[in-house]
């Protein structure tokens, strides 16, 4: 158990809908990362937050957005969903979001868009 | 841009045999390298990491990896594989000044009794 929690574990929805994925980092970690794992693209970095502020952006679609709240939990919002958004979405956390830190991963949320 | 290559998509080994999983990175200056393991239905668990210093690093579950700058490689090894090691293994690089992890495509390990 990494100490990172993600809810829900599974999500099934229809095209065009909007969903919210939630992540609670390890106690004491200030930085949260979101990754997408799909069969064709592999594991890709989406976005990073540090202490409530966006720090880095990767291959995140404009239909996707995220935020980190004062209690440090984070939410990833996916809207106008398409079949291709079906994937496993991971949240990770680290202490201060620096480049030599270990990122600890949650169990993931599996999203299926029908 | 950084890239990480894992040349082997799928490897099958017999229980008790030795294992080596290959990883090549492209970031030139200062790679920060990681190996993660993902069991079916699970998240990613860190096996080991290399930032600097001794090029042979020890990790959990009896795994080790050797950093070779001349070959841009960070191969993962285990002397004797157990059936419980069957999983998918990912090599990743963050690199100096980068906060995100760039992952390889992964190598799926199957273990036969």
Q: What is the pLDDT along chain A (114 residues), one digit of tens a residue?
A: 889 999 999 999 999 999 999 999 999 999 999 999 998 899 999 999 999 999 999 989 999 999 999 999 999 999 999 999 999 999 999 998 777 788 999 999 999 999
Q: What is the pLDDT of residue B109?
A: 97
Mean pLDDT in chain B?
92
Encoded tokens for A104: 């600890």
Q: What is the pLDDT of residue B96?
A: 67
Would you put residue A16 in left (φ > 0), alpha (ψ -120 to 50) or beta? left
Distant-in-sequence, close-in-space partners of B28: CB < 8 Å, separation ≥ 6: none
Is pLDDT above 90 for B40?
Answer: no
Instruction: Collect contacts of B57-62 with beta carbons under 8 A, ≥24 apart.
Output: B59/B35, B61/B37, B61/B85
Is residue A25 within 8 angstroms of chain B, CB to CB? no
Closest CA to B74 of B110, B22, B37, B6: B22
Q: What is the pLDDT of residue A50?
A: 94
The answer to whether A107 contacts B45, with C-beta atoms less than 8 Å apart, is no
Is pLDDT above 90 for B1?
Answer: no
DSSP letters along B86-113, please? -EEEEEEE--TT--S-EE---EEEEEE-
Encoded tokens for B3: 């890239």
Q: What is the pLDDT of residue A98?
A: 78
Closest CB to A107 among B43, B97, B103: B43
Contacts of A107 in chain B (CB under 8 A): 42-43
Is residue A40 within 8 angstroms of chain B, CB to CB? no
Is residue A90 within 8 angstroms of chain B, CB to CB? yes
Closest CB to A43 among B49, B90, B95: B90
Contacts of B2 in chain A (CB under 8 A): none
Instruction: Write out pLDDT tens, residues B48-96.
Output: 999 888 899 999 999 999 999 999 999 999 999 999 999 999 999 987 6
The CA distance from B16 to A74, in Å, is 43
Q: What is the pLDDT of residue B100?
A: 86
DSSP letters along A45-92, please? EEEEEETTEEEEE-S--TTEEEEE-TTS-EEEEE-S--GGG-EEEEEE
């Amino acid at each position: 158990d990494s100490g990172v929690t993600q809810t829900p574990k599974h999500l099934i929805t229809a095209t065009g809908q909007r969903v919210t994925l939630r992540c609670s980092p390890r106690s004491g970690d200030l930085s949260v990362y979101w990754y997408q794992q799909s069969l064709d693209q592999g594991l890709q970095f989406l976005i990073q937050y540090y202490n409530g502020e966006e720090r880095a952006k990767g291959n995140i679609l404009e239909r996707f957005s995220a935020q980190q709240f004062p209690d440090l939990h984070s939410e990833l919002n996916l809207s106008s969903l398409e079949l291709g958004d079906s994937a496993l979405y991971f949240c990770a956390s680290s202490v201060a979001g620096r480049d030599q830190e270990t990122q600890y991963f949650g169990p993931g949320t599996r999203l299926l868009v029908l | 841009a950084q890239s990480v290559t894992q040349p082997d998509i799928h490897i099958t080994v017999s229980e008790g045999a030795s294992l080596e999983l290959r990883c090549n990175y492209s970031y030139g200056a200062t790679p920060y390298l990681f190996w993660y393991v993902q069991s079916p239905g699970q998240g990613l668990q860190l096996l080991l990491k290399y930032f600097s210093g001794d090029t042979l690093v020890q990790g959990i579950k009896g795994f080790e990896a050797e950093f070779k700058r001349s070959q841009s490689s960070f191969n993962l090894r285990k002397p004797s594989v157990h059936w419980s090691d069957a999983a998918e293994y990912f090599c990743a690089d963050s690199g100096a000044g980068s906060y995100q992890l760039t992952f390889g495509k992964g190598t799926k390990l199957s273990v036969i009794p």
